[in-house]
Amino acid sequence: MNSKIGSYEFVIDHAVCDLSGKAPLPHLFGLLLKSAGRHADERGFGFTNLSQQNKAWVLSRVGIYLNEYPSAEDKITIHTWVESVEWFISRRCFEFVDTDGKIMGIAQTIWAAIDLETRKPCNIDELGSSINDFLGADKSFAEKKMVKIGRVEEEPLFLHSLKYSDIDINGHFNSVRYVERILDVFDIEMFESLNVREFEITYMAEARPATKLSFHKKTLAEQHFALEIKDTANQSTICRASVLFQ
């Protein structure tokens, strides 16, 4: 095993599965973040290390591409590695693998390291972290180019005031909850016959407990949608996402 790659095993708990008996995408996204956190912590460039410098990793973009979803009680392994570091930006990749070694899906995430005082991004090379020692994992990755998601100008579907369960340990809208709230825009019936094949999200601004959000949806093609969450106070964009069902 190449130590540049971290491999983490999970069992899909019966209690987290959706009405189709599969692990929902937000749950798999949570496991992916857990794997990323463990991989970085074990190698000395995780949240703990950065927080000693009053810095933190901030998630900027995520793309998840799944051919298959694991079912209740299935074991899956998530492989993760740092694909590149460029100035302010680190790109981390993932594979979801079943017990036969078959790749069920892939994912990519874009992270920035920010200074917690100024909230500005830092040059990752100047962090003095060990991240560069773990570049160059010998791993072929069927790269998916993340496309810029355009503005969604449609009228709001509904407004949402952030609730207790939406807020994370930093007092911001929890990254996994964004994904739940976005999928909850769609009728439950869609999830009976279709799966989310591709999900991309770009986090553009922080939402805090007092932020009142509006949700907007545009149909790009059959079963392919763009979504935008805006801050109702000034119409600025909180995040944009695209969802492809198949």
Decide: is 33 part of the binding site for a copy of itself (CB under 8 A). yes
Q: Which of residues 172-211 bind a copy of itself (CB under 8 A)?
A: 174, 176, 180, 183-184, 186, 188-189, 191, 209
Is residue 9 close enough to count as binding a copy of itself by CB under 8 A?
Answer: no
- Which is closer to a copy of itself, CB of 137 or CB of 194? 194
How far apart are the C-alpha atoms of 181 and 52, rounded to whole Å?
33
Question: In terms of CB distance, is 31 or 97 closer to a copy of itself?
Answer: 31
Shortest Cβ distance from residue 144 to a copy of itself (Å)? 24
Distance CA 190, CA 222 (A): 12
Please identify, among the stretches 2-10, 22-30, 97-105, 111-119, the one whose residues bind a copy of itself according to the rule CB under 8 A. Answer: 22-30
Stretch that binds a copy of itself, among 100-108, 115-123, 157-165, 236-244 (CB under 8 A): 157-165
User: Does residue number 75 form part of the binding site for a copy of itself (CB under 8 A)?
Assistant: no
Would you count residue 34 as binding a copy of itself (CB under 8 A)?
A: yes
Taking CB under 8 A as the rule, does residue 52 contact a copy of itself?
no
The minimum distance between CB 10 and a copy of itself, in angstroms, equals 12
If binding is defined by CB under 8 A, does position 74 make contact with a copy of itself? no
DSSP-assigned letters across all residues of the chain: --TTSEEEEEE--GGG--TTSB--HHHHHHHHHHHHHHHHHHTT-SHHHHHTTTEEEEEEEEEEEES--PBTT-EEEEEEEEEEEETTEEEEEEEEE-TTS-EEEEEEEEEEEEETTT--B--GGGG--SGGGG----------PPPPPPP--SPPSEEEE--GGGB-TTSSB-HHHHHHHHHTTS-TTHHHH--EEEEEEEE-S---TT-EEEEEEEEEETTEEEEEEEETTT--EEEEEEEEE-
Give the separation between CA 173 and CA 21, rounded to whole angstroms. 28
Nearest residue (CB) to a copy of itself, 52 versus 165: 165
Q: Does residue 156 bind a copy of itself (CB under 8 A)?
A: no
Question: Does position 13 bind a copy of itself by CB under 8 A?
Answer: yes
Residue list 89-148, contact with a copy of itself (CB under 8 A): none
Burial class (CB in 10 A: 0-12, 13-18, 19+), 215: buried
Choose the binding region for a copy of itself from 32-40, 104-112, 114-122, 197-205 (rule: CB under 8 A). Answer: 32-40
Q: Which of residues 206-245 bind a copy of itself (CB under 8 A)?
A: 209
Distance CA 9, CA 15 (A): 18
> Which residues bind to a copy of itself, rule: CB under 8 A?
13-15, 17-19, 21, 24, 26, 30, 33-34, 37, 47, 72, 162-171, 174, 176, 180, 183-184, 186, 188-189, 191, 209
